Structure 1
Amino acid sequence: MTAADCPCGTGLRYAECCEPFHRGDALPPTPLALMRSRYSAFARGLDSYLTATWHPGTLQGDVVTDAGTRWTRLEIIDAPEPTPRRGVVEFVAHYREGGRDHELHERSRFVFQSGRWWYLDGEHN
């Protein structure tokens, strides 16, 4: 992966993938696109984007990323076709922290409301 590649692992350049969402030029059209853009935001330390895409009904304060965490790879486990108002994405996010490799395995729930997808919450496996 080069510096121009998107951290979310689509193989696209960042400018053609998650950057338009991060800049506010577009909204992610699916729960999977939103989840990928949120992973990229974690990888790039974009706390305001993470806070802005978390549903206000379940958000408990601003999201603050840890500068000591390096997100290394995103693995999509399952992303079934969403209903018009609900979606789910199961993933494993690989990261390095404190000189050790770790994984975050989550089944995230998304809701479509006010014309956009929101991260609602996640269940860790």
Structure 2
Amino acid sequence: MSRNNARRRPAISSTSPCPCGLEATYGECCARFHQGQAAAPTPERLMRSRYSAFAAGDAPYLLRTWHRVTRPPHLEFEPAQRWTGLEIVTTTGGSAFHSEGTVRFRAHYTLDGEPGVQEEHSRFVRDEGVWVYLGEL
């Protein structure tokens, strides 16, 4: 998910199924995080909302939820890449009592019509009380 350009993809409708894979519409699920109306309450929810942001081409949200120490200066989206599904494999930590958490996931996509998968074990930390993506373990 790191090779991407700041052009937005077509907007996901608030009534569309949420790209993150939870059984809710985008408007009921990740849209509130993307629009700044709420912060993701756990690393898993942040991972899901970030995946949805990749699917939507929402670079500002991705940069906003990336720890300032590891955040790139900009993102570029691959125009021919479409995100097609997210699997959460395992999570650790991330409760109201934790300051760190991890999420191991598989992000499925197609690129030029060919299927692919990105697997990552991601680390999340609380920064000023808000969960942010720190990087890959």
TM-score normalised by length of structure 2: 0.84
Separation of aligned partners in 2, 1:49 and 1:60: 13
State how many pairs are aligned.
Answer: 122
Moved more, 78-87 or 53-62: 78-87
User: Which of the numbers 97, 101, 107 marks the counterpart of 2:115?
Assistant: 101
Separation of aligned partners in 2, 1:60 and 1:6: 26
Larger RCO (CA within 8 A; separation ≥ 6): 2
Moved more, 11-20 or 60-69: 60-69
Separation of aligned partners in 1, 2:126 and 2:29: 21
Richer in helix (by share)? 1
Separation of aligned partners in 1, 2:118 and 2:48: 14
| Structure 2 residue aligned with 1:111 | 125
Structure 1, unaligned runs of 5 or more: none
| Structure 2 residue aligned with 1:70 | 82
Say if 1:109 and 1:121, in contact at 8 Å, map to a contact too: yes
Where do residues 1-125 of structure 1 align in structure 2 (5 Å cutoff)? 4-82=16-94, 84-123=98-137
Say if 2:100 and 2:125, in contact at 8 Å, map to a contact too: yes
- 1:93 Cα offset (Å): 0.2
Say if 1:45 and 1:67, in contact at 8 Å, map to a contact too: no
Q: Over aligned residues, Cα RMSD in angstroms?
A: 1.5
Say if 1:90 and 1:105, in contact at 8 Å, map to a contact too: yes
Say if 1:80 and 1:89, in contact at 8 Å, map to a contact too: yes
TM-score normalised by length of structure 1: 0.92
Structure 1 stretches (4+) deviating beyond 6 angstroms?
A: none
- 1:115 Cα offset (Å): 1.6
